Amino acid sequence: MKTNKMLAALLALTMVTGCSSGGSSTPKTTPEPTPTPETTVEYTYGDLVFHLPKDMAFDEITAEGFEYSLASDKILIFVTHQTKEQLAELGREGITIDEYADVVTEGSENLELAKLHDSAFRAKYTFENENYKYHYATDIIERPDAFWIINVTCFEQNWADLEKTMEECLDLVEFKQ
């Protein structure tokens, strides 16, 4: 139990607490979009590659608690990961993507959680602070050596216009290896 609390505290930077799982849905079956040089710009962080809309002009920024962040005038992207070695040190050796997604989203409310495939989930949720309300689309991805969390967010009032674009930003993420 103490290990779960330590793990949840460590993961708190990656998901907003206070956001209940609506449960998992069936895996995604729609075809993935294909990035093209005419419509996207490539941003790279280590082995992680983003193909983002060319018309949004993203800049790399520094965001406390995240390893890599990008911002346009409409969308923010925040990335972090946790190695399986770090998880083993917390007593969670061999944790599955399903268990990891449960820990990451534990205690959340108004959350839609869908399994994309065997090694990834997508979460959609809102978060409100004292000044603003935000909408998030977040992928939780298992790689051989780590779990990655990629958050794409916008102001809640822009969600209807940006939902498809935000999901395409996540759909077009790839790993070099």
Q: What is the pLDDT of residues 74-90, one digit of tens each?
A: 999 999 999 999 999 99
pLDDT tens digits, one per residue of 99-146: 999 888 887 767 899 999 999 999 998 888 899 999 999 999 999 999
Given this model, what pLDDT does residue 110 score?
Answer: 75
DSSP assignment of 75-91 equals: -EEEEEEEEHHHHHHTT
Q: Parallel, antiparallel, or unpaired for β 76-83 and 48-53?
A: unpaired
Given this model, what pLDDT does residue 33 score?
Answer: 56
> pTM score, two decimals?
0.79
Lowest mean pLDDT, pick from 19-23, 61-65, 73-77: 19-23
CA dihedral 103, 10, 82, 120 (to 10 degrees): 30
Tally DSSP H helices, then E strands, for the chain. 4, 10
Given this model, what pLDDT does residue 101 score?
Answer: 93
- Closest by Cα among 81, 101, 82, 77 to 168: 77
Please tell me the distance from the alpha carbon of residue 99 to that of residue 14, in angstroms, as a whole number: 15
| Under 8 Å between Cβ of 120 and 141 | yes
In terms of pLDDT, which residue wins out, 84 or 9? Answer: 84
Place of tokens 């103490």: 2
Mean pLDDT computed over 54-83: 95
CA 45, distance to chain mean position in Å, is 15
Domains of the chain plus CATH, in order, are 2-23+36-175 (3.40.1000.10)
Q: Average pLDDT over the chain, rounded to whole? A: 82
Place of tokens 């759909």: 171
Q: Is 159 helix (H, G, I), strand (E, B) or coil?
A: helix
